[in-house]
Amino acid sequence: MGFQGTVKCNIGASWSEGSSSSGAAWILRDSNGSVMLHSRRQYSGIGSNREAELWAILWAVEGMRSTNQQNITFEADFEQAREVFLNPNRFPSLRSLSSTILAMLSDLESWRFAHVNTSRNFPATRIAASVTRDNRTQSYVARGGPYWLSQTLNEEKRLG
């Protein structure tokens, strides 16, 4: 998983154009790959997949701050949000949201973002999709991983 004392936070997002809503999720693992916490929430009035990815990042950063995590590696497969951070002038309507994320990140002791293959982010994406696909709109933060993903989470831990 990484260096001792480092935690990994996978971030997932799902967007429904029809309902203009999105799901955001994160899964936090310790340096051994064991799931410590996971979380999900819904956002309304979301106009694009790009915006949904940014809100999911914000949800994860807020979660790491509120649970006092440090030395975090964030992982996501977000191509569109990545564009916003690399080329902010191309997305003026999202500047406020991306600036908020960057300001919140500055409160963390040590962090980095890694872009990962979609297959490496599958559980977080599945949790986020449960909002838009299954209408599971209850927000929560819970210990461990969700039972319905335990086999996938354990396999990921084993593979590192």
For residue 1, the model assigns a pLDDT of: 44
Per-residue pLDDT of the chain (160 residues; tens, 9 = 90+): 444 579 999 999 999 999 999 999 999 999 988 899 999 999 999 999 999 999 999 999 999 999 999 899 999 999 999 999 999 999 999 999 999 999 999 989 899 999 999 888 889 999 999 999 888 888 888 887 776 676 777 677 666 6
Pick the CATH number of 7-141 from 3.40.50.2300, 3.30.420.10, 3.40.50.1240, 3.30.70.580: 3.30.420.10
Q: The whole model's pTM is what? A: 0.90
Query: DSSP secondary structure string, 72-101?
Result: EEEEE--HHHHHHHH-GGG-GGGHHHHHHH
DSSP-assigned letter for residue 46: -
